[in-house]
Structures are given as C-alpha cells and as structure tokens.
C-alpha cells in the first residue's frame, strides 16, 4: 500500500478527516490523487504531499484552493473546477508561481463563482507571465442529454448511418462520457469542421472506434476530455492530445516492454517531423505571397505532406493528391525539406522540442522513475537545509530568491537528463535495422 502511485476515489460519498490525512501522508510515492465528485465540503484540509503530481478536486464543494506548500510542490495539474471558489489573491498566485512544477502546472478553475477582484488578480498575474497555465472559464452551452451524431454522418448511406449512430449511442451510454461528447459537440464549431470536414470526420470516427474497442483506452480518453491539459490552448490541441493517447495506447498494448521506448520515440519524432513539414510549407507560402504569386495554400501544404509522407514516415497523411500541379512543389523542394528536417534531428533544438511534448516527458519520468529520483534528490536536500535555517540568517526575500534558484536549477537538471535519455533512445532507433 505504501508503494501506491495512483489513487482514485472519485464519485464516492466519503468524508475527509484527519485520519484520512494520516493515511495519505503514509503514501509517500503517491503521484495521482483523484477525489472528483466526492462531497468533501468547504472546510476540508488535505495533507500536502511533495510527491503528488496530479490532484483532482472537481465538484467537491471546496471554497478555497487547498493549502499547499507550493515551494516544495511538484504538482503539474490541479483541477478545482465546478466548486465554490470565489476569492483568489495575488499572494496565492505568486505561491503557485514559485512551485517546483510551475513551468508545467495546469490550474483548472472554470465553473467557480470568481469575483471581479479575483478575475482582476488573475489578469494582473498573467501580465508578463506565461509559466502557469490557468483555465478560468469556458462560456459554452451545456450539452443536451442526447447529443446528436448527425454532424458526423454526412455522406454515409443508410446502413452506415445506422451502424455509426448505434456505435455513438452505445459509447454515449458509458459512465463518464459527458465531457468527451461535449468536446465532440464543441468541435462542430471549429475551423477544422468547416475547412477540413472530411478529414476531421474520419479522425473523430477513428477515435470513437478505438474508444469502443477498449475499456481501458475509453477511460483514458474520457479522463483527458474531463481534465484537458491545454487550458486556453484551443480545442484542436485537446483533440490532438487525445489522438496521441490512442496511438500511445496502441503501442503500449501491442509492443514488448523492451521495445516500447523505441516505438514511442519514433511516434514522437514523426509528430515533430509533421510540425516541421508544416513550418516549411508555410514558409514557402509566405515567400510566394511576398513575391506577388497567387498561391493555393491548402494545395501547397498538402503537397509537402503527401510528398514527404513515405520518406519521413509522417502520421496519418493522405497518400495521393488530385491536383498536384496546382501546388508547384518540385522534387527538389521536397528533397531540400527532407534534408533540413533530418539534419535538425541531430541538434539540441530537436531534443528540446521532444521533451516539451507532455506525453513524451511524462513517459520518460514514469519509465525511468528511479533515475529521475536520483536527479531530484540533491535539490530536495538543498530545500530541506534551506527550510532549517534560522529566520535571523536569511530574510524572506533571500529565502524566496534561493527557492527560485533551486527550482530553476532543478528544472534544468531534469530537462538535461531527459534530453540525454532521449538521445540514447534515438541512437538505439537509428542503429536498429529499418
């Protein structure tokens, strides 16, 4: 029990007491605590755990953020949506800013009756700060009890419509599906729904098929929809994150454990390559427009993706184009793009972009947890020494400055270690028979 890393008590009518805190403090390796929809009440006090990475307190009845030792906190996600929190001070926000995990922390606040003063504090705090990501509010219409699959059925014959609608309704009936279908409903108002409708429809049904085929994956997707990591970053990124989860699940469930790092690296690399192809295509479009040429932007972007799909093993791209002559992208253009992308993969910038992807960094931290603990240990020891210094040996500002320095050095050390791991995995992939 003391080695437990994840604990979910969601949707239980439990009462939280000091005995609960005592049990919690014994779980020194606990990283994920899910108390969503538990009626904890306004005055609950949770014991803070330095090991905790994710804390879910959605719709628990709390009226304030949990009291937390932010300077020692490694939280990267705190979900307090749909509660009764009305006040949020600059002091609280400053404390969060100084947490060890602040560069990756997602604080989800929507659905709380925040006062005008609290909103003003948030706006003031965000000016000039981009580190903590705050999801404050989403004024979207509530999803009706019976969501409509019609927007995703265009172009299908009657038999296909009946089969798809039946699959939709069966998944909709599963416990915890509300946020998932809210996300699909929101997607019908996205730019992709208007401009890339056929592709988006195919992607949506691929996800529904995958979720319907596996209970474990279905629960993961419902959880991502309920706790999006991209507060304010856009619906497309939330959906894209869910697609990544589908691919990761496929690799983890079908690949021997020893080969998983290599396969996940190749998947991560393919996503980075796709991003680079898009950047090169947009750069070419901008150049032509600057020269006064007429450009079909969609065709140019598609020409690069289709032309490089096989050579770069790009994910999920169309294999052919109807009007390739319109794009005016030559074989030489494609070869130059290929060379640029492959050359970049031996640079520091490439590996920095890999560890910036949440799922890759999270995988490394989980797979090589004991190694990461070794990297973290000296910084924890420095923090302990700092906490034990008498008050007359350092001012409050000196204390805060030293905490900030330790936090910055810790983050740099963790990133450098993650990059070294990624380089080792990249070498193994490159040496493996293709």
* Residue 260, domain member (yes or no): no
Domain count along the chain: 2
* Residue 98, domain member (yes or no): yes
Planar angle of CA 203, 282, 312, nearest 5 degrees: 60
The enclosing domain of 93 has a CATH number of 3.80.10.10
* Residue 205, domain member (yes or no): no
| HEC assignment per residue over 39-53 | CCCCCCCCCCCCCCC
CA gap 50, 380 in Å, rounded: 10
CA gap 164, 208 in Å, rounded: 10
Active site residues per annotation: 231
Distances (CA, A) of 113 to 65, 92, 122, 275: 13, 17, 14, 39
How many other C-beta atoms lie within 10 A of the C-beta of residue 195?
Answer: 10
Residue 389's pLDDT is 82
Burial of 174 (0-12, 13-18, 19+ CB in 10 A): middle
Mean pLDDT (10-residue bins), the chain, 434 residues: 75 76 79 86 74 85 81 78 85 71 70 84 62 48 58 87 93 89 86 80 92 90 71 62 88 91 95 94 92 84 88 71 68 96 97 91 89 91 83 80 85 95 95 74
What is the extent of the structural domain holding 108? Answer: 6-135
135, 158, 189 - which closes a domain: 135
* Residue 56, domain member (yes or no): yes
Q: Model's pTM, two decimal places?
A: 0.67
Residue 152's pLDDT is 92
Burial of 272 (0-12, 13-18, 19+ CB in 10 A): buried
109, 135, 161 - which closes a domain: 135
Bridge partners, residue 55, by sequence = 33, 78
Bridge partners, residue 108, by sequence = 79, 135
Residue 61 · residue 86 · CB < 8 Å = no
Distances (CA, A) of 158 to 153, 155, 370: 10, 10, 55
Helix (H) or strand (E) segment spanning residue 62: none
113, 135, 157 - which closes a domain: 135
| Of 114, 60, 65, the residue nearest 94 (C-alpha) | 65
Distances (CA, A) of 92 to 63, 67, 97: 14, 9, 9
Helix (H) or strand (E) segment spanning residue 346: none
The b/e string for 314-329 (b: 16+ C-beta within 10 A; e otherwise) is beebeeebeeeeebeb
* Residue 355, domain member (yes or no): yes
C-alpha 65 chain-centroid distance: 22
* Residue 172, domain member (yes or no): no
* Residue 73, domain member (yes or no): yes
* Residue 390, domain member (yes or no): yes
| Of 55, 1, 52, the residue nearest 26 (C-alpha) | 1
């Amino acid at each position: 029990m003391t080695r437990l890393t994840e604990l979910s008590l969601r949707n239980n009518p439990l009462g939280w007491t000091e005995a609960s805190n005592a049990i919690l403090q014994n779980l020194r390796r606990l990283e994920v605590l899910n108390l969503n929809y538990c009626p904890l009440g306004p005055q609950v006090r949770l014991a803070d755990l330095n090991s905790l990475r994710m804390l879910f307190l959605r719709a628990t009845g709390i009226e304030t953020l949990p009291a937390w030792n932010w300077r020692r906190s490694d939280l990267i996600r705190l979900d307090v949506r749909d509660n009764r929190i009305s006040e949020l001070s600059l002091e609280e926000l400053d404390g969060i800013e100084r947490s060890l995990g602040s560069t990756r922390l997602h604080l989800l606040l929507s659905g709380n009756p925040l006062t005008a003063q609290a909103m003003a504090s948030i706006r003031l705090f965000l000016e000039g700060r981009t580190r903590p990501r705050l999801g404050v509010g989403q004024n979207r219409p509530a999803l009706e009890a019976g969501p409509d699959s019609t927007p995703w059925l265009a172009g299908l014959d009657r038999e296909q419509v009946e089969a798809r609608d039946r699959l939709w309704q069966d998944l909709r009936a599963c416990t915890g599906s509300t946020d998932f279908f809210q996300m699909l409903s929101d997607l019908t108002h996205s730019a992709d729904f208007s401009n890339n409708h056929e592709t988006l429809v195919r992607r949506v049904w691929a996800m529904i098929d995958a979720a319907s085929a596996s209970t474990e994956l279905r629960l993961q997707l419902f959880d991502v929809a309920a706790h999006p990591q991209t507060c304010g970053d856009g619906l497309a990124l939330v959906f894209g994150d869910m697609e990544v989860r589908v691919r990761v699940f496929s690799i983890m469930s079908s690949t021997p454990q020893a080969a998983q790092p290599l396969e996940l690296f190749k998947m991560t690399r393919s996503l980075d390559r796709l991003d680079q192809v898009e950047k090169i295509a947009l750069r070419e479009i901008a150049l032509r427009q600057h020269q006064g040429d007429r450009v079909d932007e969609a065709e140019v972007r598609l020409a690069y993706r289709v032309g490089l799909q096989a050579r770069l093993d790009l994910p999920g791209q169309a294999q052919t184009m109807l009007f390739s002559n319109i794009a005016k992208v030559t074989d030489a253009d494609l070869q130059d793009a290929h060379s640029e992308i492959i050359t970049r993969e031996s640079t520091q910038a490439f590996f920095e972009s890999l560890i910036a992807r949440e799922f890759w960094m999270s995988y490394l931290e989980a797979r090589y947890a004991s190694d990461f603990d070794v990297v973290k240990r000296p910084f924890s020891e420095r923090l302990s020494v700092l906490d034990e210094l008498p008050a007359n040996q350092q001012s409050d500002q000196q204390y805060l400055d030293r905490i900030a320095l330790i936090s910055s050095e810790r983050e740099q050390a963790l990133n450098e270690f993650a990059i070294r791991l990624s380089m080792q995995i990249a070498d193994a992939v490159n040496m493996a028979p293709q």
